[in-house]
Amino acid sequence: RTVDGHQIWERTLPQEIERVAWTRDGRHVVSVSEDAKMRVFDVSTGEVVFSFQHDNGIDGLSISHDGRFLATGQERVRGVGLARVFSVKDWKLVRTIEHPGTVNGVDFSSDDEHLAVIGDY
């Protein structure tokens, strides 16, 4: 709990967790890791409510300021990295954006009109 710092649950994942983020409504926490999986946890129970298997490790994670979208950044596969944008409402994949290398970070502009993607190119 963020109010008093009491730990409600914990999870151990098979590989290193790269990033975590809270959804804007506070109902979910999202993790991305080197096992190439994005996991969405219910904050109350710790149960996984959604997961998405990427093709390689995931280094980037960001949630839009209005809370509508979530973006991930994937390490490159055959020279191409990917940024993926998901709808937080139903966790559906909205868009995939190719990048000429690993995507180390993703971030939404303050008005959520743009997504910045950074990597090793």
Per-residue pLDDT of 47-96, as tens digits, reads: 999 999 999 999 999 999 999 999 999 999 999 999 999 999 999 999 99
Q: What is the pTM assigned to this prediction?
A: 0.93
**Beta-strand relationship, 58-63 and 48-53:** unpaired
Reported as type and span, the H/E element at residue 56 is none
Confidence of residue 22 (pLDDT cuts 50, 70, 90): very high
Cβ contacts of 22 within 8 Å, gap of 6 or more:
28, 29, 30, 43, 63
Q: How far apart are CA 49 and CA 59, in angstroms?
A: 21
